[in-house]
Amino acid sequence: MLIQIPAKNDFRIHQQNNKSNSSLSVGIAKTALEIEEAQRLRHAVFSKEYGAIFEGSSTDIDQDKYDQWCDHLLVRDQTTQQVVGTYRLLRPEQAVQAGGYYSESEFDLAGLDSIRHEIVEFGRACIDEDYRSGPTLMMLWTGLSEIIRKNNYQYVLGCASVSLRDDGVTAAEVWRSVREYPQQDHGLKVTPHHPYPIEQVNPELPANVPALIDGYLKLGVKVCGEPAWDPDFNTVDFPMLLTVSQMNPRYRKRLGFDPS
């Protein structure tokens, strides 16, 4: 059964100056059709921007075995009714049913065994290129935070992907940048099954940290291990772990964890 965001908070409206200059809403997909809308957005973004390879699929859908166990957060343009952003979430009890977390396909999570029962995993983060601004991302974080608060999860785990279409230049810049942030406490570390040789990338080539990853770092998310190489999606994946109690105080208040 999907987690239902409480009815009074089922949809939050936020004005955003985007392509359509319209309002956005966020909520959990309740039907197979709504999940398919998220999968089509994922396919469009990942195939175009990452050059992802979707094995065994002749449709414009990104789908895997984890989708059936996940909650799918959708941000929708209220004017066009288009889904313009999505996350999928795998709760610990769902992960048991699914046979593990998606992240375990890329990382050894043995270092997280002590907190495994308190982890909700986020993934397949995706925003339409015409809606990539702060308010859209905040809408997704608002939906995610309501699920975290309602279920008292203490940790949020996920992978932040960086395209390899520039031969790893941006990924190398991300790695240099995250090293400047304090590392995850309590020895909570993961190990990639297939490490990416990021130290071999020319460190003098110019690049910027992607806005989504920069946003995670400001939120208080920490990189909890070396990045992995995902050849199917043509990406370098950084393991990200948020300890909810250590979230940036500004965002804790903004997302409703602390009283105003």
State the CATH number of the domain containing residue 87. 3.40.630.30
What's the average model confidence in pLDDT over 231-250? 90
Place of tokens 């020319």: 202
Dig out the tokens for 46 from the structure: 């990942």
Q: Is residue 189 one of the residues assigned to a domain?
A: yes
In this prediction, residue 182 carries a pLDDT of: 58
Own/partner long-range contacts of 97-106 (Cβ < 8 Å, ≥24 apart):
97/69, 98/65, 98/66, 98/69, 101/157, 102/64, 102/66, 102/159, 103/157, 103/158, 103/159, 103/190, 103/239, 105/193, 106/159, 106/192, 106/193, 106/194, 106/228, 106/230, 106/237, 106/239
In this prediction, residue 66 carries a pLDDT of: 94
Q: Is residue 1 one of the residues assigned to a domain?
A: no
In this prediction, residue 6 carries a pLDDT of: 31
Q: Are the C-beta atoms of residues 106 and 35 closer than 8 Å to each other?
A: no
For residues 203 and 127, which has the higher predicted lDDT (pLDDT)? 127
Backbone phi, then psi, for 121, in 5-degree steps?
-100, 135
Q: Is residue 206 one of the residues assigned to a domain?
A: yes
What's the average model confidence in pLDDT over 240-256? 90
Please, which residues have CB within 8 angstroms of residue 255's CB and are 6 or more apart in sequence? 141, 142, 145, 247
Q: Is residue 93 one of the residues assigned to a domain?
A: yes
Q: How sure is the predictor about 134, in pLDDT bands with cuts at 50, 70 and 90? A: confident
Please, which residues have CB within 8 angstroms of residue 150's CB and are 6 or more apart in sequence? 3, 5, 6
97: left (phi over 0), alpha (psi -120 to 50) or beta: alpha
Q: How sure is the predictor about 244, in pLDDT bands with cuts at 50, 70 and 90? A: very high
Q: How sure is the predictor about 14, in pLDDT bands with cuts at 50, 70 and 90? A: very low
Q: In 3-state terms, the chain is what percent helix, strand and coil (to 5)?
A: 35, 25, 40
Q: Is residue 260 one of the residues assigned to a domain?
A: no
pLDDT beyond 70 at 232: yes
Q: Is residue 214 one of the residues assigned to a domain?
A: yes
In this prediction, residue 116 carries a pLDDT of: 93
Interval 23-74: pLDDT, tens: 899 999 999 999 999 999 999 888 877 666 666 555 788 898 999 999 999 9
The count of structural domains within the chain is 1
Q: Is residue 17 one of the residues assigned to a domain?
A: yes
For residues 18 and 156, which has the higher predicted lDDT (pLDDT)? 156
Q: Is residue 18 one of the residues assigned to a domain?
A: yes
Neighbours of 33 (CB within 10 A): 8
* Domain that residue 91 falls in: 7-254
In this prediction, residue 16 carries a pLDDT of: 44
